[in-house]
Amino acid sequence: MRFDKTEELAPWCALNRIFGFAPKTGFALVRHYGSPGALFSADRKELGKILGEESGYLASMDRDVIGRESEGLEKLSGEGVHVLCIEDERYPELLKECEDPPAVLYVKSVSPPEEVFTSRPAVGVVGTRDITSYGKEWCTKIVSGMGSADRKPVIISGLAMGTDITAHIAALDAGLPTIAVMATGIDSVYPFRHGWYAERICGSPGSALVTDYPPGTVPRAINFLRRNRIIAGLSESVILIESRKKGGGMLTCSLAASYNRDVYALPGRIDDPFSEGCNELIARKAAEAVTGINSLLDSIGLGPASSSGRGSLKSRVYNIYKDREGADLAAGLSSLADLIYHNRDITLERLCQLTGMDFRETAAMAGILESDGIIATDLLRRCSINPNFM
C-alpha cells in the first residue's frame, strides 16, 4: 500500500525523528501498540513504565510532535520531496531486509520512488575523502565500465568529498543513475560545495538524493555512521576504492557483510596508507580483490563491458592534435601523454629526464594537455591522466 496522506505519514515521521538512532526500539513500540499513531496516543504513565520515567525518548513524545511533523510534510510536498515509511510498497525491499532499517526515507528526485528503487542492480562505491590520483582513476574506470555493461546498475554513494563525489560524477557521465545518501536533512547539502552536483543528481532520471534524517538536521560526525548503513543496505554489492585501516568506508563494508552483501576492494601498494584498509579486507578474505574491470563486472553479475573502440590513449591524443597543431607536435604530445599514463603522479622534472626535453618545453606541452582536459596536475605539479579522459 502507498502512504501519501499527511495523517498517515506524520506518526511515522515522528517515530523516525525520535528513534532514528534506535530504530529497533521504535519498531518494538509500534509492534506493542499496533501502529505509530497508537503509540503517540498511548497513556503517558504506561509509556513511562516501558521506557522509564527519566527516558529522553519519553520527554520527546509530547502531544504536539505529530502536528509539527504534519506541518513539515506539507512544506516538503511542495518541494518535490517524497516521504516513504517502511510500510509503503515503494520503500526499497533491499533496505527493508536489514535488521535496522530506517522507519522513514526522504527522497528528492525528478523520478517517482518506484523508478528510483527498481530491480536494477545496485552497487555501492565508497572510500576515503582523501582520494589519491590512483583511487580517482580506478573509481572512474570501474563506474564507467559499469556504464557499458550488459546490465546497467544504479551507483550508490554518500555525496562526500573524494571517493563519493567521484563515483557520482562518473555514474552521471556514464549515463547511469546514482543515489546520494546524505547525512543531513533533505533540505540541505553537505558539503556545501556539492550543491550543484546534488541538483544534477536529483534532476537526472532514476537518480535521487536520499536521507532518513528529518528536515533541519545539520551535519555531525555521528550522522555519517548512521548514514553508512543505508548505503550498505541499498546495495547488493559494495566496492571499497581506498581507505585507511579505520574510516567510514571500512564501516560501510562491515555493515554490508553483516547484511550478506558482496564486498570488493581495490588493492593498493602495501606501503600506501590510503590502501591499508582495502589490503586488510582482501588479506582477511573479507573482500574480493578487484583485479580487472571485466572480471569485476562478471562477478557482480553485470556482464562484460562492451568495447568502446576508442583506441589507445596515445593514438587518441595524436588524432586530437594532428590537424590542430601539426604532426610533429601531435606526436610529441601523444608521447608525453603516454609517458604520464604509465607513470602516475610523475613530476615535470622527471618528465624532463625521461624525454630529454628542457623544463620550459616540457611544461608548455604539459600545459596544453592539461588545458584540454587530458591530464590533471596536483598542487605539487605532479601529472596524471585525467580519469574523465580514459
Cis peptide bond N-terminal to 191, omega within 30:
yes
Q: Coil, strand, or helix at residue 35?
A: coil
Mean pLDDT across 160-183:
96
* Dihedral over alpha carbons 100, 104, 109, 111 (to 10 degrees): 90
Tell me how far apart the alpha carbons of residues 231 and 346 are, in angstroms, rounded to a whole number.
35
Interatomic CA distance for residues 97 and 314, integer angstroms: 48
Q: How far apart are CA 166 and CA 177, in angstroms?
A: 14
Summarize the confidence of residues 231-250 as an average pLDDT: 96
Q: What is the overall mean pLDDT for the chain?
A: 93
DSSP symbols for 229-270: HHHHHH-SEEEE----SSSHHHHHHHHHHHTT-EEEE----T
Q: Residue 53: what pLDDT?
A: 82
Q: Which pLDDT score is estimated for 325?
A: 87
pLDDT > 70 in the chain, percent? 98
DSSP per-residue letters across 4-25 = -SHHHHHHHHHHHHHHTT-HHH
Task: Output the furthest CA–CA distance in the chain (Å, rounded).
Answer: 87
Q: How confident is the model at residue 249 (pLDDT cuts 50, 70, 90)?
A: very high
Counts of helices then strands in the chain (DSSP H, E) = 19, 11
Q: Which amino acid is at 343?
A: N
Question: How many Cα atoms occupy the beta-carbon half-sphere of 332 within 13 Å?
Answer: 16
Intra-chain end-to-end CA distance of the chain, in Å: 45
Residue 56: pLDDT band by 50, 70, 90 thresholds? confident
- Does the pLDDT at position 255 exceed 90? yes
Q: Which residue has the higher pLDDT, 49 or 305?
A: 49
CB count in 10 Å sphere of residue 378 = 11
Mean pLDDT of 106-122: 94
Stretch (H or E) spanning 173: helix 163-173
pLDDT at 289 over 70: yes
Phi, psi of 28 (to 5 degrees): -65, -40
Please give the radius of gyration of the chain, using alpha carbons only, rounded to the nearest integer. 24
What pTM, to 2 d.p., does this model score? 0.86
**Tens of pLDDT, residues 126-144:** 999 999 999 999 999 999 9
Residues paired with residue 81 on neighbouring β-strands, in sequence order: 108
The 8-class DSSP code of residue 214 comes to: P
Instruction: Give me the torsion for CA of 265, 267, 270, 275, rounded to 10°.
Output: -50
Phi, psi of 73 (to 5 degrees): -65, -40
**Closest CA relative to residue 107, chosen from 9, 225, 211, 37:** 211
